[in-house]
């Protein structure tokens, strides 16, 4: 028996092979049992790994955890010396050796292992020493594994089903690859460690599978070729035979024959003929004709209106040119270009209340008179000469002005 401080032991070491770790309910049960008796039935098994110089549990994870938990419980009266824990101590050179030692420790005591615990233990064995637990590259050593994990053959097969399938697929692939490279079966056996019988079976199954696949592909191609070539020819032959024997023709053939022989015409031909002969027109034809007539009328109306406007503008221009106003007329008489500027100016000044140079206001409109001679200094002969040099329109305006004097 040896004693060691609990703090020196790695309770998280990879030698814990239970898939879910410690079960706390079992830890508490062990703690209460230790509080009552002051000891365990079996001492925890701890190993010193020389490579890393660390202490790891091999068997007794629950018991060591129970001591730690019990020391933390104040309501439970129990003295636990965590600096001097009694253990069974062993030395291993590597962690792999310690893992192999821990693989089957709980087979006969402690909390019963679950199937997942056994499977996890086997996987750990293959991780730490794959060669040591394999007969060859593609075959596990079932006896060595079952001995280390302390499990039955049925448990072994269930636990290793997936990995054995992976190894079998890898083996078959390697055998086929070497055979494809021209390697003899004897040489394949030496390289892979697979028995001659197994190699022959793998290659025979491969040939049968390949032959079956080739046959299926050939049959499928022949079937596709028959479908591709047979169906169109049979269809064309059937159509030709039907036409030769007077079987009713298709709609297109009947239409072409009717047009060629003067028989009943198609609907489009009948509509064209009706339009040419003045017969009743279809609604679409009537609507088209109505729209055409309406557009034609609109265009005629626009053209008529444009012509009227053009004629009106032309007439206005001619009238303007033929009847010159007093403001645009040019004469050879020695008068101002616009003789009525002074008159309009005088009228504006009169309306504004100013004195007009031509008008004399005696207080009433009826007595208003113009002293022409005084205003203009013209004699009657001079005034007549002035009027003679005016146009007809200017003369009329001048006479109206003189009448109002």
- Secondary structure element (H or E) that encloses residue 195, with its range: none
Q: Three-state SS for 94?
A: coil
pLDDT for position 183: 93
DSSP strand pairing (45-49 vs 85-92): parallel
Sorted by sequence, the CB contacts under 8 Å of residue 109 that are 6+ apart come out as 42
Crossing angle of the two packed helices 196-244 and 185-192, in degrees rounded to 10: 120
Report the candidate in 111, 92, 117 with the shortest Cα–Cα distance to residue 17. Answer: 117
Measure CA of the first residue to CA of the last residue in the chain; give whole Å.
162
Beta-bridge partner residues of 13? none
Question: Where does CATH 3.90.1530.10 sit in the chain?
Answer: 1-113
Question: Any idea which residue has 């002035």 for tokens?
Answer: 386
Q: What are phi and psi of 365, to 5 degrees?
A: -65, -40
Residues 138, 194 contacting (CB under 8 angstroms): yes
DSSP assignment of 297-359 equals HHHHHHHHHHHHHHHHHHHHHHHHHHS--TTT---SSSS-S-TTHHHHHHHHHHHTTPPPSS-
Q: What angle do CA 338, 342, 346 make, to 5 degrees?
A: 150
Euclidean distance between CA atoms 329 and 394, whole angstroms: 9
Burial of 320 (0-12, 13-18, 19+ CB in 10 A): exposed
Is 1-113 assigned to CATH 3.40.50.1820?
no
As a residue count, the chain comes to: 405
Q: How far apart are CA 261 and CA 252, in angstroms?
A: 14
DSSP 130-194: TTTTEEETTEE-HHHHHHHHT--HHHHHHHHHHHHHHHHHHHHHHHHHHHHTT--HHHHHHHH--
The DSSP call for residue 369 is B
Token code pair at residue 3: 């004693």
Dihedral-angle region of residue 113 (phi above 0 means left; psi in -120 to 50 means alpha; beta otherwise): beta
Per DSSP, the three-state class of 20 is coil
pLDDT in single tens digits along all 405 residues of the chain: 799 999 999 999 999 999 999 999 999 999 999 999 999 999 999 999 999 999 999 999 999 999 999 999 988 888 899 999 999 999 999 999 999 999 999 998 889 999 899 999 999 999 999 999 999 889 999 999 999 999 999 989 988 999 999 999 999 999 999 999 999 999 999 999 999 999 999 999 998 888 877 777 777 777 777 777 765 555 555 555 555 554 444 444 444 444 444 444 444 444 444 444 444 444 444 554 555 555 555 565 566 555 555 555 555 545 544 444 434 434 333 334 444 455 456 555 555 554 444 444 444 433 334 444 444 455 666 666 666 666 676 777 777 777 766
Q: How many CB atoms lie within 10 A of CB 133?
A: 21
């Amino acid at each position: 028996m040896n004693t060691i401080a609990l703090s020196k032991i790695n309770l998280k070491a990879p030698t814990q092979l239970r898939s879910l770790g410690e079960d706390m309910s079992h830890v508490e049960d062990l703690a209460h049992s230790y509080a009552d008796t002051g000891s365990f039935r079996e001492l925890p098994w701890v190993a010193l790994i020389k490579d890393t110089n660390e202490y790891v549990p091999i068997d007794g994870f629950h018991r060591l955890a129970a001591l730690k938990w019990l020391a933390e419980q104040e309501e439970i009266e129990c003295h636990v010396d965590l600096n001097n824990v009694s253990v069974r101590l062993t030395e291993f050179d590597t962690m792999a050796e310690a893992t192999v030692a821990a693989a089957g420790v709980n087979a006969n005591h402690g909390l019963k292992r679950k199937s997942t615990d056994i499977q996890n233990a086997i996987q750990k064995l293959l991780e730490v020493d794959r060669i040591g637990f394999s007969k060859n590259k593609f075959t596990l050593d079932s006896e060595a594994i079952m001995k280390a994990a302390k499990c039955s053959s049925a448990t072994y097969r269930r636990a290793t089903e997936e990995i054995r399938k992976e190894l079998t697929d890898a083996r078959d692939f390697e055998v086929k690859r070497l055979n494809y490279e021209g390697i003899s079966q004897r040489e394949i056996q030496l390289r892979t460690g697979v028995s001659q019988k197994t190699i022959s079976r793998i290659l025979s199954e491969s040939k049968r599978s390949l032959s079956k696949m080739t046959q299926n592909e050939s049959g499928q191609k022949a079937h596709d070729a028959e479908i591709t070539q047979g169906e169109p020819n049979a269809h064309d032959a059937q159509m030709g035979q039907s036409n030769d024997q007077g079987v009713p023709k298709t709609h297109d053939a009947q239409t072409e024959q009717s047009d060629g022989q003067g028989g009943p015409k198609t609907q489009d031909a009948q509509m064209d003929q009706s339009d040419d002969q003045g017969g009743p027109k279809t609604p679409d034809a009537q609507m088209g004709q109505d729209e055409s007539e309406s557009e034609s009328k609109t265009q005629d109306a626009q053209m008529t209106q444009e012509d009227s406007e053009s004629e009106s503008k032309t007439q206005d221009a001619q009238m303007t040119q033929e009847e010159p106003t007093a403001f645009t007329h040019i004469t050879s008489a020695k008068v101002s270009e616009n003789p009525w500027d002074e008159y309009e100016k005088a009228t504006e000044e009169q309306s504004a209340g100013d004195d007009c140079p031509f008008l004399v206001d005696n207080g009433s409109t009826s007595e208003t008179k113009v002293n022409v001679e005084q205003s203009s200094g013209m004699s009657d002969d001079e005034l007549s000469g002035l009027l003679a040099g005016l146009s007809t329109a200017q003369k009329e305006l001048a006479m109206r002005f003189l009448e109002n004097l």
